[in-house]
Amino acid sequence: MKSHGSALAEDTKVLDRAVAKRLVSRSMVLAIAGVALSALAAVVDTKRFAFSYLTGFTWVVTIGLGALFFVIIQHLTRARWSAAARRHMEWMSGVLPACAVLFLPVAVLAHDIYHHWMGPQAANDHLLQQKAPYLNPTFFYIRAGVFLAAWAALSLWFIKTSRAQDESADFRPTAKMRAGSAPAVIVFALTISFASFDWLMSIDPHWYSTIFGVYVFAGAATSSLSALALITIALHKAGLLRKVSNVERQHDIGKLLFGFTIFWAYIAFSQFLLIWYANIPEETIFYRHRWEGSWKVVSLALLFGHFVVPFLVLLSRHAKRSPLVLGAASVLLLVMHYVDLYWLVMPNVDHHGAHLSWIDLAGLLGPLGVGAWVLSLQAAKSPLYPLNDPHLAEAARIDNP
Amino acid sequence: MQRDSDPPSRKRSGEPASTEEAGGLKDSDREGPADDKPQGFVPEDEAEYDKPHEEGPHGKAALAIERKLEHRAEEEAAAASSPFALMGYFTTPKDIYHACETLRDAGYSRFDAHTPFPVHGLERAMGLKASPLPWLVLGGGAAGLSGGILLAWYTQLYDYPLIISGKPAFSYQAFIPIFFELTVLVAALTCFFGLFALGRLPSFFHPTMTHPSFPRATDDAFFISVEVSDPKFDATETRNLLQRAGAQGIREVSS
């Protein structure tokens, strides 16, 4: 390594072959079990499974999208601290091509999920007739194809270019990714917004919120940073990364996670305040549904679990530097991201109160298992940090005084 | 003690260090003929006018004696004020970093570093304790939040309940932006003024400024000042320690 000498000799370049094999085989078992459980649930209760699966699928896809956003933004800002973190986020964004396959059940069951506007009763609904040029099945499938293809292409391109640098010790891939990141971020912003409108907001086609795409994005950024924190902590604990990723980098990830926790609350509250203040029936009904019966408990759990508790916990510098505290906050935020999506999707099935079912778990485990499998495949075959990143030495040196 | 010190008249002149070092400590006694003419307001009435010295019987000799007395008084005042710190400077960040480590390891606690730019890790080399400022800011934020809640509750529910757009009298939802803003405002103000208080600002004079080379602390010199009040301070030992660490221009400054 000409560029950084022996400064990073303490860092392991690739996962040990036996460890990688164990990781892949275990996650493959999880994937097979999850998919089998999903298939069983689909047979038992197709309608509920459609919604449960949509929740699980969007959980995985938003984590992948948050990771893709992180990769893009690091190149866009020419960040130097995040060399190792960027590689871990590249792994995570690797689930996006798999999401094109994971979307198939949603595509098949779309008429169950979006029955309000895909079903025959839409013909008698004046409002839906007005929205029909956008909300019609053909255009829906075309858009979904475009979103999934764009995400798969972006994530594969960034992974491929970054991996090319591992072999060539060349600056050109970095320059290429920086140039590509500007158009990529525009594509990303548009696709994630419209995908949220299509897949989550249109379940209740009379309701609308213009900030909805940003809300989903805030959850995506928070959950992917939580997953990154867990990967970073795991690699530190295993003693694989010591220099290029250390407690200072963990602290930086904690700071970003803290910031996006506040961002999520800010966006969630912005959406709530406008709807609450205006008090227009067709808008307020969204919160009305989510304040009925046990949904009220879920709403409050979201307020405290997704904002108040992580905010107070991550406020302290010592918490962000402690693997235990940051890890616990990350697990909480990942769970809360699922609760958030559950809170968006499931009130359309369970009116007047939440009813947990094993089918919900099946709908989560299928996409989760496949996502974990793809992630461990990425981790197994790719170096643990970008071996020839031009800023490795700085990433190892910068600290938080 | 004062062997390296300049006479006070020169001390505050802030002359460039190079002259001071090369030319030694020669005091250019102010014997020039320039300022022996009366200045300022001169009354028109001759009777009230105290004759200028050069025309009087004593002439320039009297003026010289007056100046000497002034000079002596200044020197006595300087000797009477207690020394504040022993100062010295280095020319590279590396040197001051190691000097700070040496002082820290020798058990000094009341010393400061003055550098032209932030030297990373210096606070660790100096063995500084963590600042209490974050706790002050947390308290300020909590005070702002509770103040905001109190304000909204008092004005909207207790003092003058008003129904606005059919919502309950104390609709906290509408006031969350105010709670947030007040939390941030009071936390930020606490941070700003807390920093002033912790740094004992504003301060218009500091003894370290009397070191003749101190202007270089904003340019190319890295100063260390070891305060006399440090329990470990010993005039000769501390001086030797600084000398061994490679400090230049070591001298005592007084308040």
Model confidence over B165-215: pLDDT tens digits?
Answer: 888 888 889 999 999 999 999 999 999 999 999 988 888 888 999 999 999
- Closest C-alpha to B238, from B126, B114, B81, B103: B103
Rounding to the nearest 10 degrees, give the CA dihedral for residues B49, B52, B55, B60: 160
Higher pLDDT, A146 or B51: A146
Higher pLDDT, B37 or A267: A267
- Closest C-alpha to A97, from A163, A17, A152, A40: A152
What pLDDT score does B48 carry?
52
B-chain residues near A401 (CB < 8 A): 120-121, 123
Collapsing DSSP to helix, strand or coil, B197 comes out as helix
**DSSP structure class, residue A201:** G
Q: Which helix (H) or strand (E) holds B179?
A: helix B172-198
What pLDDT score does A134 carry?
94
Phi and psi at residue A19, in whole multiples of 5°? -60, -45
User: How far is A208 from A201, CA to CA, in rounded Å?
Assistant: 7
User: How far is A348 from A356, CA to CA, in rounded Å?
Assistant: 14
Rounding to the nearest 10 degrees, give the CA dihedral for residues B7, B12, B15, B17: 70
User: How far is B107 from A46, CA to CA, in rounded Å?
Assistant: 74
CB A291 within 8 A of CB A302: no
- The verdict on a CB contact (< 8 Å) between A399 and B174 is no
What pLDDT score does A272 carry?
96
Q: Is B238 exposed, middle or buried (0-12, 13-18, 19+ CB in 10 A)?
A: buried
Place B29 in a pLDDT band, splitting at 50, 70 and 90: very low
User: How far is B174 from B142, CA to CA, in rounded Å?
Assistant: 19
Strand residues in B100-219 grouped as ranges (E): 111-114
A-chain residues near B134 (CB < 8 A): 317
Higher pLDDT, A120 or B69: A120
Which residues in chain B (107-136) have CB-CB distances under 8 A to chain A? 120-121, 123, 134
Would the pLDDT of B46 be above 90? no
A354-393 confidence digits (pLDDT tens): 999 999 999 999 999 999 999 999 999 999 999 999 988 8
- Closest C-alpha to A8, from A309, A370, A386: A386
What pLDDT score does A398 carry?
84
- The verdict on a CB contact (< 8 Å) between A401 and B121 is yes
pTM of the model: 0.82
User: How far is A247 from A257, CA to CA, in rounded Å?
Assistant: 15
A-chain residues near B176 (CB < 8 A): 269, 273
- The verdict on a CB contact (< 8 Å) between A276 and B165 is no
Higher pLDDT, B6 or B131: B131
Q: Which one of A269, A271, A320 would you mutate to disrupt binding with B, by most B Cβ within 10 Å of its Cβ?
A: A269
A-chain residues near B123 (CB < 8 A): 401
CB A73 within 8 A of CB A378: no
Average pLDDT of chain B to the nearest whole number? 80
Sorted by sequence, the CB contacts under 8 Å of residue A59 that are 6+ apart come out as A223, A337, A338, A341, A364, A367, A368
User: How far is B142 from B179, CA to CA, in rounded Å?
Assistant: 10
Place B45 in a pLDDT band, splitting at 50, 70 and 90: low
B80-102 confidence digits (pLDDT tens): 678 899 999 999 999 999 999 99
Low-confidence ranges of chain A (pLDDT < 70): 1-8
Distance from CA of B241 to the nearest CA of A (A): 28
What pLDDT score does B64 carry?
78
Cα–Cα distances in Å, from A306 out to A211, A264, A268, B88, B138?
18, 8, 11, 54, 21
B-chain residues near A273 (CB < 8 A): 173-174, 176-177
Helices within A94-211 (DSSP H only):
95-102, 104-108, 110-113, 115-118, 126-131, 137-168, 172-199
Rounding to the nearest 10 degrees, give the CA dihedral for residues A219, A222, A225, A226: -100
Specify the residue for token string 């001298």: B251
CB A224 within 8 A of CB A69: yes
User: How far is A226 from A248, CA to CA, in rounded Å?
Assistant: 16
- Closest C-alpha to B155, from B174, B130, B142, B132: B174
Distance from CA of B64 to the nearest CA of A (A): 58
Q: Which one of B123, B135, B137, B180 would you mutate to disrupt binding with A, by most A Cβ within 10 Å of its Cβ?
A: B180
